[in-house]
Every structure is written in structure tokens, then in C-alpha cells.
Amino acid sequence: MGLVFVQAQTLKPGIKEADRVIKGVTDYDLPVELQNQSAQKTSGKLKFVVRTDFLDTLAVSVTPVKLAAKSKSIRSIQLKGLKPGIYKVTATYSSLTASDTINFNFALDPEKMTTVDDTPADFVQYWARAKRELAAVDPQYKLIKVDSLATKARDCYLVEMRSLGNVLVRGWLLTPKKPGKYPAVLTVQGFSYTLLPNRIFNDDNIVSFGLNIRGHEYSNDNINPGFDKFLTYQIGDKEQYIYRGAYMDCVRAIDFMFSQPNVDTTRVGVTGGSQGGALTFATAALCGKRIKAAAPSIPFLSDFPEYFKVALWPSNVWRDYGKAHPKFGVAGVLNTLSYVDIKNLAPWVTASVFMSVGLVDRTCPPRINFAAYNRLKTEKKYVIYPESDHQLPNKSSLPIDQFLKEQLGISSTR
């Protein structure tokens, strides 16, 4: 006995079964397909439980089911008064001889989800001050050629530079050997992830730079709290919080790319996943028109008041810190985080944006992805992978590559 999510041809008009995104309805008959693969007839019960992503129960139903041998049947639950959001479904069939359960999510008009605006009153001044502080730091760019990592078409360099607070950060530069002006892509990293030359945007006709932000391998000379303490490092002072510096590391990386004589500064993009998705948003926001295209995947660091409700880890790290420091408290934590919240930075983005989302992501849930996406005021589009948790399928890199190449005018193939 198996339960399978209903296929596209049985869905009502306006529903994108491929990504399980429903649009333009408030009432919906949510179907599942039951398949009796045995040679015996069966009878039992089908139970639906539908909840919001905040785990509030929306609907429950239990209905009797009879299935002939080698047959299938479509059954549904009526949902009424739906609002834009992410919904979690559990469907369970049980009988005397068989039992099976499926869990899946669906989204209703995710582009229309709203959230409370908690942008600090001094938000503009905060980031203007950070950029002034960065500009006062001599970058001291240093390129170390690494011939062993070069290819026939591109040279490879380990790049060192000074960022906010005179912190030393490093990255990998891949640059075409043939003289000329080239578009460029900055790749930014996920949390605890180390960027190496083979893990950054790869095309022989671009300048590709992969940044390792402060506190990560290759860039932990001056700041190295360890990943167990990274998220709360100096969170008690919003002027010293580690992500303020990390965002400035990304701005410095763009400064570096703009300093390279073979970079066409009218065609620069940025991409990354998870923490790298947040860094992509932040880079595009804080660098403004210097960024032409941004491709964040499953972005982190967004809409913290809601994030604390819809994700266990690592939101618990911040909550635990607040509880362990009662004078500062969870309220203090949320206040500092509001300054690095990509939801609050999103309106500053002018680049075209392509966002990738995992519909069952428990680490960076779709709600927080769309909290930032929905506040963008620029050209944008997204793709949802309905079965993906916090690891998108390998095929997800293809539309990202295509988007960046189209936006930056890259005609070659990888």
C-alpha cells in the first residue's frame, strides 16, 4: 500500500503541481492518491492533518476508504479560508493489514505572504557608518598565484585583503588568461562551509571570485570564535556583531573585483546558498547598482521574529544566548539581528534576483526566504523544489547558471 501526492493532470486549474504552489484561491480540495498494489481488496481509514508552518492545526479529517485489488483512488480534504502561506500535510492510511503515511508541504501565494516590518529607526545610518569605516581601511590587496590550480584557460590566485576592523580575509580568484574585459561573479559561502576554487562559479569566460568571510577557514586569522559560537559572536554590541563585519567582507570583495583591470564592472553578479544566500542579498543591497544580478538559494538570516517560530536550529542558539544573558535577553538578540536581517536590506537591492527555495527546508524555511524576496522592489523570480529540505538537488545549479549568464551576457557553456 502506498500513498502518492496527486499528479498534475488531476489538479484544478491554477495549481502548479510540479512545485506544489497554489495560486489565487482561498478554498481548495487537497487531494492524495491511494494505490492498492496488492492482489487483495482492502478497507481502512484515511486521516488528514493540515497545519500551518507555525504548527497551528488548520484541518483534520478521517474518512473510510475501500480499495479493490490493484486499484487506486483519489481522496481529498476541503480547506477553506486559506491565506497566503506554507502548509504542512500529513496523510495516513491505516487498515488491519496495512499502514502508510506521507508528509508534504504546499505553498499558497507565497509572493503575497506578509510580515511585520522591524527595520530599526537608525538602519540607514548604521550601514552608512559601516561602509565609511570599511572605506577607511586600506585593503592591501595581495594576489598569490597558484599554478597548480590553474587550467589551460584560467589562472588561479589566492587573494588576501583587509576588511572592516582591519580583519584579514581571503578568497580564490579564477581569471581568464586571454586579455580582455570580462563579466564577474562573486560566490559567497554557506555557514561553516569552506570555499575552494572548485566550488565557485565556473566558466572560462568570466572572472570568478570565491570569498571566505571572517571566522571561516582561510579567513580566521584575526577572528575565530568557532562555529559553535559564531552566530552569537559579539551579538551584545550591534556595532561589533560578526555579521556586520561579514557583510562588509562581501562589500570589500566587490571593491576588489572592481579594482581588477579585466573586470567589466557593468556586469557583476553574486550567488550563494544558505548563509551564502543571505550574503548574496546583503551584497546586492549594500553594493547597490554595482551588482547587476543576484542568485540566492535557501537564504538564511531573514525575518528573525518569525524564524524563531518556524525553525528549531539554529534559532535555538540565539534564544539560548538571550536566556543565558538575561540583562540583554532575547529582545536584545532580536534587536541586534534586525540590523543584519536581509528582509530589512531587501528594499535596497537594485539587481535582478533569482531565488531558489526548498519547500520542506527546516533550517531556512520558505517563510523566511519569501520574507526577504517579497520586499524586493526589482525584477525578480523564484523556483521552488517541493521535495527539498536544506539541500537542493544538483539540478538546481542549472537555472542559477542560466540566470547569471543571461543577466551578465555570458555566452559560453560550462
List beta partners, residue 29. Answer: 78
The Cα–Cα gap between 175 and 172 comes to 10
**Which candidate in 352, 361, 396, 397 is catalytic?**
361
- Among this protein's residues, is 390 annotated catalytic? yes
The Cα–Cα gap between 332 and 338 comes to 10
- Among this protein's residues, is 95 annotated catalytic? no
**Which candidate in 94, 118, 155, 390 is catalytic?**
390
Contact between residue 369 and residue 313 where contact means Cβ atoms under 8 Å apart: no
The Cα–Cα gap between 336 and 383 comes to 31
What torsion, rounded to 10 degrees, do the Cα atoms 74, 80, 81, 82 define?
-20
DSSP 101: E
Angle at CA of residue 254, ends 248 and 255, nearest 5°: 85
Q: Is 149 exposed, middle or buried (0-12, 13-18, 19+ CB in 10 A)?
A: middle
Instruction: Using only the alpha carbons of the chain, give its radius of gyration.
Output: 24
DSSP 264: E
What torsion, rounded to 10 degrees, do the Cα atoms 11, 403, 391, 196 define?
170
Task: Report residue 381 as a C-alpha cell.
Answer: 523570480
One-letter amino acid at 198 equals: N
**Which candidate in 163, 274, 302, 338 is catalytic?**
274
State the catalytic residues: 274, 361, 390
